[in-house]
Structure 1
Amino acid sequence: MTNPELRYPRRPHGEGDPAMLGRRTFLEALGFALAAPTARAQSRVPSSAQASAQALAPSGETVRLRGTIEALLGDRLSLRGRDGRRIELTLARDLTVTEVYPVSFETVQSGSFVGVGAMPQPDGTLRAIAVTVFPESMRGTNEGHRPFSFLPQSTMTNATVAGLASAPEGRRMQLRYGDGEKTVVVPAEAPVVSLRPATRELLTVGAQVSLTAQAIEGVPTVTRITAGRNGFAPPY
């Protein structure tokens, strides 16, 4: 959703929260600087960490990080992640900043291109966590259905709305992508948002953000970041 879905480092199955584990694996492998690291903590970093960083950097391996901006000075950003760890990052010179903002469900029309983070239901339908209505300029972005790292078993579907209907649980959307199709139930509490280009002035201390990071010349660097205005937070 929102920003296009990103590839996560592979990790062993069943070891804790996949989103947290993927983030930790990436940070440790790249030698991300965490707040106030102790000598003891540094000694626990595997000796292969530098080799992993060298292997990942050329490949452009990326991860999605979510959290709150704790400090911002020039091109340096300190992020407090959802797992409580403080992460020091550099903002890319060509950083893409996107504003996420709330819209009503009535914005969703037949033919709209949307991104839906959702959880699978026993009857084969999906229950929406949130719905992103893409602007026309982003139509076709990462079209398809795939796993989503936000929650265990969650999915992301970027597709065209082929049908809308009322349902006891809320609204139902029929989504079509390529040769696939999904039925999504959108409960009343699921946020509906859209996106628009923004500038770095959107980034302020205390803002909740969702960002894409990767190693560029060995430096953990933010290439894309999404934030809301006046306290509004990305749904994931």
Structure 2
Amino acid sequence: MPSRLKLAVSALSFAAALTLASAALAQSSAAKPERIRGEIVSLSGNTLKVHRRSGETVTIDVDDKAGVNAVKNIQLADIKPGSYVGAAAAPGPDGKLQAKEVLVFPEAARGTGEGHYAWDLGANSTMTNANVDTVVQGTSGRDLKLSYKGGSNTINVPANAPVVTLIPATSAELTPGKKVFVVATPASDGAYDGHLVVVEKDGVAPPM
């Protein structure tokens, strides 16, 4: 598969999984998707075992329908007006939103999970998936003016905040010891059905 097409397919898999995850925020069913962050213990066939940050080890089914991606570091300067980003942030000392990380989506994934909603990357964290209207250089990083359907906000991105974009990956890269971010739905047997896996590659761990 040509690399550009492969990236588009990979990005669309990521888009579908994040849309599912963000839609689940408004649901109360027991089967709503979860975000699993941790380290790979093993992969046997389609069965991925992950040791979560919270301490327990979980089993995730990652069949051919599950999207597998990785991320690579890019520069804060690579974020331009017109970029479509996902920024996890929390209020800083001055009350303004300060980014914990920013994912710059490939164009094929524009519109993924659009909006501003609660996130689980620390206390009072939020996620804003939106278009970048303006980028203003400040004394501490850059301020991104973001707009999405129904609203807008401004997020300061410190110079030390991780800024990444998606790159294609395969299940062969799901090796023990690597960090992962997984969107998965609890299954009836206590395991999970995986929808999206973002795996560490070349030393770059998924920051989301």
In structure 1, what is the equivalent of residue 5 of structure 2? none
RMSD: 2.3
Letter in 1 for 2:183: T
Structure 1 residues 79-88 or 89-98, which shifts more?
A: 89-98
Contiguous gaps of at least 5 residues in structure 1 = 12-54
1:1-236 equivalent positions in 2, closer than 5 A: 4=18, 6=21, 7=24, 56=30, 60-121=31-92, 123-216=94-187, 218=189, 219-236=191-208
Letter in 2 for 1:189: N
1:8, distance to aligned residue in structure 2 (A): 5.6
Q: Distance in 1 between matches of 2:104 and 2:77?
A: 11
Letter in 2 for 1:151: G
Structure 1's consecutive aligned runs of 4 or more residues displaced over 3 angstroms after TM superposition are 8-11, 121-124, 215-219
Tell me the TM-score normalized by structure 1: 0.73
Determine helix, strand or coil for the equivalent of 1:94: coil
Greater Rg by CA? 1
Determine helix, strand or coil for the equivalent of 2:197: strand
1:170, distance to aligned residue in structure 2 (A): 1.4
Letter in 2 for 1:214: T
* TM-aligned CA distance change 1:130 to 1:138, over 3 Å: same
Task: Name the % identity.
Answer: 35
Q: Distance in 1 between matches of 2:192 and 2:113?
A: 24
Letter in 2 for 1:172: D
Q: Comparing both chains, which one has the higher relative contact order based on Cα–Cα distances under 8 Å and sequence gaps of 6 or more?
A: 2
Q: Distance in 2 between matches of 1:121 and 1:143?
A: 23
Give the count of matched residue pairs: 190
Tell me the TM-score normalized by structure 2: 0.83
In structure 2, what is the equivalent of residue 35 of structure 1? none
Letter in 2 for 1:127: Q
Determine helix, strand or coil for the equivalent of 2:195: strand
1:125, distance to aligned residue in structure 2 (A): 2.6
Letter in 2 for 1:196: I
Determine helix, strand or coil for the equivalent of 1:176: strand
Q: Is the contact between residue 116 and residue 132 of structure 1 (CA under 8 Å) also seen in structure 2? A: yes
